[in-house]
């Protein structure tokens, strides 16, 4: 066996990258686009290719002080500027500051057919001049189909595409080239994706009359990158991509405990509440006070001085505030103070990706310590179970990484209530699962609450009946009868029966006390009579003894006197002699 040491493995250096400044895109590209190399952005009409290119230039100028050139082949500078004004991008001002140069190149196929001459040499000169004029570091070509429409010879077309990409690399500018998607290929020519160092595919699809947008990194030479499809949206702030990150479960945890807002419910947890930064799911059928529980959670967070973000999919903010005020949960003062923010919308207003990115964006702006979504089950109407499960996985993970207290409510129905939630994948993700349900009695329905799971904390296994009154939620003591838990009118009947038994027991005790008192008085009278009789006998005996003693003394005195007399006068003897 050879004793020679194994050769050392030299770690590869990180590929230089240019950050795009687009929310989420730098994360899934592991730092940005390849620096000094061309990136192809392809997709169908309406997917935001041009917007991505323009935002790449604007963010580069504003955030990284890198001037850019936008060469457009379809829209004029005025049209492009007007299109992105609503996003807050002031292209004319950037042009005036000599940070951006917009060049519109008009290409007419009819003119090319007449002259018969067409190549890219003029484009290189024109683009090179624009780059050198402002010292551009970034370039966007929008779109490449118009540029190559003048080539009828496919061999020449392929040669010119390669030459363009080589020229851009030699120039050392980070370039974004947009292209329309072809039939069975990423682009119409089907070659650009092979010569590009990075290819980003944008997809705008319609499923069940709901538009969804997805982004995928098809290739990225020399760099790791996210390989999944990522939802993205176009908002008033530009393009936002939501990556699936932080799934390594490396978030920190806390031993601090926070209240649910319902003291009786807190007592069902061994530590008196929920862990800080944990996620909680409240499930139940319609009318089981899920929103009231969520509002109690929000109110308690605000009382602690925490910011709370409340997403509502079934009620308007005004309706929620009014309804909660009737059960003693006054949320309005905290809305006015800015601690509570209520975001209300119908789930069908947007697709899942827009809801998810919107939640991320608002959390980033508001920076809450508590987030509530009521209910998540409504999101099923805008996506399949797998899509909803994927969204909830990302959302729960995002909130955990941020250390945010999260509470979700979900509507369930029928005998498959728990199974439906399991299908959505949320029950296994959350730390605590609280279930509220109907407890049907004799001609009535009552509410019951139980804890199905609480990670890292002992908890009660009881099903507690609870009431919602003008003072909020109150859990009732567990009352067990021969057939199980007693609730509602049965609880009242049981209480009345117990009250009657208690009164009867009290009356029986009073009767026994009265009998005992009578016996005591009779006994005391008997004792008094016996004592009187004893005293009479004792007095009689004392009198008899006294008389007997007197007789005895009298007799003794008589004997003594008799003896004394006999001694003084002895009796005479016969014959007169004294002997």
CB atoms within 10 A of CB 212: 22
**DSSP letter for each residue of 448-474:** EEEEEEETTS-B----EEEEEETTEEE
Instruction: Give residue 477's pLDDT.
Output: 77
Instruction: Give residue 153's pLDDT.
Output: 62
Half-sphere exposure of 156 (CA within 13 A, CB side): 10
Query: What phi and psi values does residue 172 have, to the nearest 5 degrees?
Result: 75, 20
Query: Rounded to the nearest 5 degrees, what angle is found at the Cα of 398, between the Cα atoms of 392 and 401?
Result: 140
Of 445, 482, 495, the residue nearest 465 (C-alpha): 445
Is the pTM higher than 0.85? The answer reads no
Half-sphere exposure of 167 (CA within 13 A, CB side): 17
Answer whether 361's CB lies under 8 Å from 300's CB: no
**How far is the C-alpha of 340 from the C-alpha of 312, rounded, in Å?**
13
For residue 211 the two structure tokens come to 């538009």
Instruction: Give residue 561's pLDDT.
Output: 82
In terms of CATH architecture, what is 257-477? 3-Layer(aba) Sandwich (3.40)
Instruction: Give residue 114's pLDDT.
Output: 39
Answer whether 22's CB lies under 8 Å from 241's CB: yes
Tens-digit pLDDT profile for the chain (579 aa)?
445 444 443 344 578 999 998 878 888 888 899 999 999 898 888 888 999 999 999 999 999 999 999 998 888 889 888 888 888 889 999 999 999 999 988 765 544 443 445 567 888 888 999 999 999 999 999 877 776 665 556 666 677 778 888 898 999 999 999 988 766 565 655 556 667 789 999 988 776 666 778 888 988 988 888 777 887 878 777 887 876 544 455 667 888 999 999 999 999 999 999 999 999 999 998 888 999 999 999 999 999 999 999 999 888 999 999 999 999 999 999 999 999 999 988 766 666 767 777 788 888 889 999 999 988 877 766 666 667 777 788 788 888 888 899 999 988 875 544 444 544 567 788 899 999 988 776 667 888 899 999 998 999 988 888 989 888 899 887 665 555 555 555 656 666 777 878 888 888 888 888 888 888 889 988 898 888 888 888 888 888 888 888 888 888 888 888 777 777 666 665 555 444
Q: Which helix (H) or strand (E) holds 104?
A: strand 100-104
CB-based burial label for 244 (10 Å; 0-12, 13-18, 19+): middle
Instruction: Give residue 20's pLDDT.
Output: 92
Domain ranges for the chain, please list them: 17-112+119-241, 257-477, 479-511
For residue 437 the two structure tokens come to 């349900």
CB atoms within 10 A of CB 144: 21
- Write down the CATH superfamily of domain 17-112+119-241: P-loop containing nucleotide triphosphate hydrolases (3.40.50.300)
Instruction: Give residue 351's pLDDT.
Output: 63
**How far is the C-alpha of 123 from the C-alpha of 103, rounded, in Å?**
11
**How far is the C-alpha of 168 from the C-alpha of 130, rounded, in Å?**
13
Answer whether 261's CB lies under 8 Å from 299's CB: yes
Answer whether 162's CB lies under 8 Å from 126's CB: no
Instruction: Give residue 338's pLDDT.
Output: 94
C-alpha R_g of the chain:
49
**How far is the C-alpha of 140 from the C-alpha of 97, rounded, in Å?**
19
For residue 249 the two structure tokens come to 């479960």
For residue 403 the two structure tokens come to 């250390």
Note the helical H segments in 285-367. 290-303, 317-325, 332-337, 352-366
SS (H, E, C) 506-540: HHHHHHHHHHHHHHHHHHHHHHHHHHHHHHHHHHH
**How far is the C-alpha of 111 from the C-alpha of 149, rounded, in Å?**
12
Query: Would you say how long the chain is, in residues?
Result: 579
- According to DSSP, residue 212 is labeled E
Same fold, 17-112+119-241 and 257-477: yes
**143 upstream amide cis, omega within 30 of 0:** yes
Answer whether 225's CB lies under 8 Å from 29's CB: yes
Answer whether 472's CB lies under 8 Å from 262's CB: yes
Instruction: Give residue 237's pLDDT.
Output: 78
Tokens 């190149």 belong to residue: 105
Answer whether 187's CB lies under 8 Å from 152's CB: no
CB-based burial label for 187 (10 Å; 0-12, 13-18, 19+): buried
CB-based burial label for 90 (10 Å; 0-12, 13-18, 19+): middle
């Amino acid at each position: 066996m050879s004793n020679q040491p194994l050769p050392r493995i030299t770690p590869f250096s990180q590929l230089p990258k240019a950050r795009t400044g687009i929310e989420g895109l730098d994360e899934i590209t592991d730092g940005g686009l390849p620096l000094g190399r061309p990136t192809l952005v392809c997709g169908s009409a309406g997917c935001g290719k041009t917007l991505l290119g323009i935002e790449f230039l604007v963010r580069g100028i504003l955030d990284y002080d890198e001037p850019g050139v936008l060469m457009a082949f379809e829209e004029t500078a005025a049209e492009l500027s007007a299109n992105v004004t609503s996003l807050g991008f002031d292209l004319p001002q950037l042009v005036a500051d000599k940070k951006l140069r917009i060049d519109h190149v008009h290409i007419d196929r009819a003119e090319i057919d007449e002259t018969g001459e067409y190549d890219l040499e003029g484009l290189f000169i024109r683009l090179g001049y624009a780059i050198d004029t402002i010292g551009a570091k970034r370039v966007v070509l929008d779109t490449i189909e118009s540029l190559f429409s003048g080539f009828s010879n496919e061999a020449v077309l392929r040669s010119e595409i390669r030459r363009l990409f080589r020229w851009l690399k030699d120039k050392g500018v980070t370039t974004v080239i947009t292209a329309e998607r072809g039939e069975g290929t990423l682009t119409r020519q089907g070659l650009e994706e092979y010569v590009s160092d990075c290819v980003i595919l944008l997809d705008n699809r319609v499923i069940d009359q709901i538009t969804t947008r997805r982004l995928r990194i098809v290739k990225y030479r020399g760099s790791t990158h996210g390989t999944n499809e990522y939802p993205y949206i176009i908002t008033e702030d530009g393009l936002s991509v939501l990556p699936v990150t932080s799934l390594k479960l490396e978030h920190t945890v806390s031993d601090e405990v926070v209240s649910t807002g319902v003291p009786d419910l807190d007592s069902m947890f061994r530590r008196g509440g929920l862990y800080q930064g944990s996620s909680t799911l409240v499930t139940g059928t319609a009318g089981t006070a899920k929103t009231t529980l969520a509002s109690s959670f929000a109110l308690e967070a605000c009382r602690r001085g925490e910011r709370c973000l409340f997403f509502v999919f079934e009620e308007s903010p005004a309706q929620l505030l009014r309804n909660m005020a009737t059960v003693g949960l006054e949320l309005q003062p905290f809305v006015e103070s800015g601690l509570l923010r209520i975001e209300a919308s119908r789930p069908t207003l947007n697709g899942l990706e827009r809801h998810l990115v919107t939640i991320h964006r608002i959390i980033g702006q508001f920076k809450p310590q508590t987030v509530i979504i009521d209910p998540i089950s409504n999101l099923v109407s805008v996506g399949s179970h797998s899509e909803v499960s994927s969204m909830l996985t990302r959302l729960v993970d995002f909130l955990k990484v941020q250390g945010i207290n999260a509470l979700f409510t979900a509507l369930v129905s029928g005998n498959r209530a728990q199974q439906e939630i399991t299908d959505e994948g949320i029950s296994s993700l959350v730390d605590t699962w609280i279930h509220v349900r109907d407890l049907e009695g004799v001609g009535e329905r009552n509410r019951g609450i139980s804890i199905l799971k609480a990670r890292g904390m002992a908890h009660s296994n009881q099903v507690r009946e609870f009431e919602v009154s003008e003072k909020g939620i109150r859990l009732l003591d567990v009352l067990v009868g021969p057939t199980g838990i007693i609730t509602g009118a049965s609880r009242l009947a049981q209480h009345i029966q117990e009250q009657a038994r208690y009164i009867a027991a009290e009356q029986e005790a009073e009767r026994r006390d009265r009998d005992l008192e009578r016996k005591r008085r009779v006994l005391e009278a008997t004792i008094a009579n016996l004592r009187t009789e004893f005293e009479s006998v004792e007095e009689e005996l004392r009198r008899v003894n006294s008389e007997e003693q007197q007789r005895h003394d009298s007799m003794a005195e008589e004997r003594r006197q008799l003896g004394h007399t006999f001694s003084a006068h002895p009796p005479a003897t016969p014959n007169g002699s004294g002997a």
